[in-house]
Amino acid sequence: MRTFKLTPILAALPLILGLVVAEKAAGDAVVIVPAPDDVCNPMECRQKGDCFHYQVCYEGAWKNETCNAGLFWNSQLPNNFGGACDYWSNLPDDIKNDYSTDPNCVPPCRWWQQSTELCSPYYHFTIPFDPNHPLTASQRDTILKCPSAPAGSSEPDLIWNPAKFTCDKPSNVNNCANIIAPDAPVSI
């Protein structure tokens, strides 16, 4: 490591070059070390990303961006600046494995209700990930409704039972035996 005594003109140089300046305990000498990875140096063109999100170093600050539907961040493209959005089929196997096992990137199929939908026939289903037709997480979410009782039947309409992940009679769903279900779903 080299040490320098900084003049006012040289004091701004480390910031311009994306370097970190640390003072030594003795005197006014400083140690210049390379900047950490998360520092955005406006003098270098660099991008970094994961899944379908990425960041661009723009005017000295990281700017968050998102790949368009059906595209994923490929950090292994040989483009010299960190990667680009790419089709699932073009991703290397190790990236596909990382993304497909990360529930924040590619959520598994799941069933769920919003708190305002409890004791109702409405529930949400997240379609399983399909690499041949990759969709964003929001595109994979659908709102479904449990079946109604047969016409003329004295049986109640079915409601979503979150404990069993299926439709059920209201009397079988915790805290829902005497609740009338709403008529319309709550949007995602």
Residue 128's pLDDT is 77
Q: Are 69 and 116 contained in the same domain?
A: no
Q: Are 27 and 69 contained in the same domain?
A: no
In a domain, 58, yes or no: yes
pLDDT along the chain (188 residues), means of 10: 40 39 41 50 73 83 83 85 85 88 76 91 85 70 92 93 93 83 51
19-23 and 71-74 strand pairing? unpaired
Residue 180's pLDDT is 56
Residue 37's pLDDT is 54
Residue 80's pLDDT is 72
pTM above 0.85, yes or no: no
CA-to-CA dists, residue 39 to 1, 17, 18, 62, angstroms: 20, 11, 7, 8
In a domain, 41, yes or no: no
Nearest to 47 by CA among 73, 81, 17, 79: 81
Query: CB neighbours of 98 closer than 8 A, spacing ≥ 6?
Result: 105
Residue 160's pLDDT is 94
Q: Are 95 and 115 contained in the same domain?
A: no
* Domain with 87 in it: 47-100
Number of domains in the chain: 3
